[in-house]
Structure 1
Amino acid sequence: MHLNIDNQEVAVDRDGFLVNLQDWTPDIAEKLAQEEKIELTPEHWKVIFLLREFYAEFQISPAMRALVKYIEKKLGPEKGKSVYLLSLFPPSPAKVASKIAGLPRPTNCL
């Protein structure tokens, strides 16, 4: 499967995750978010860039529990809550945010 972004074909798997992580750009993130019916705000971008930072450090996409703890560590306890992340990336924050951030599917997400 492919997404067409600015007349460029970008390969995605059957669930919409990028096949080649190096293809990710903010424009691609916007397109992936549109596919999820999410309009990206500055709050979304903070989480997206933190996810990419997490991946660069640990070479995995975090499951929900690890994501919540990482966001709490980086953005504070008011944002390090699953309810906050669910409000940004429904219905599955770890999965949806990882997809938009151009990362692989977290291993424990269906």
Structure 2
Amino acid sequence: MEDDVNLAQVCKDMLEMMGFQVTLAHDATSAMQSLNQLLHVDLLFSDIRMPGGTSGLELANRARQRLPELPVLLTTGFSEAQRREALIYPLLNKPYTYESLSRALQELL
């Protein structure tokens, strides 16, 4: 889940180059709809700071209620407070590269 359309596309391209099938969501509502409709989900990758009143952290918690074993990777380019909030999930700091994203996913999966 990423609200920046350009960054979402770059990230989608990187993930597809790594062999993943990607479903993009630009807010938590559409992300949860996708999670509820998909038969299989390997990973939730979300920005922490999102529009619409639901953060990526809240999305991750909701997703884990439905899919307790779902691997979650969060990302942020913002404050230390947001980083502390997300300590229950692995965190990839923005800006990230193909290599750092790949490494984070290898560690998680």
The two structures have a TM-score, normalised by structure 2, of 0.32
Q: Point out the structure with the larger helix share.
A: 1
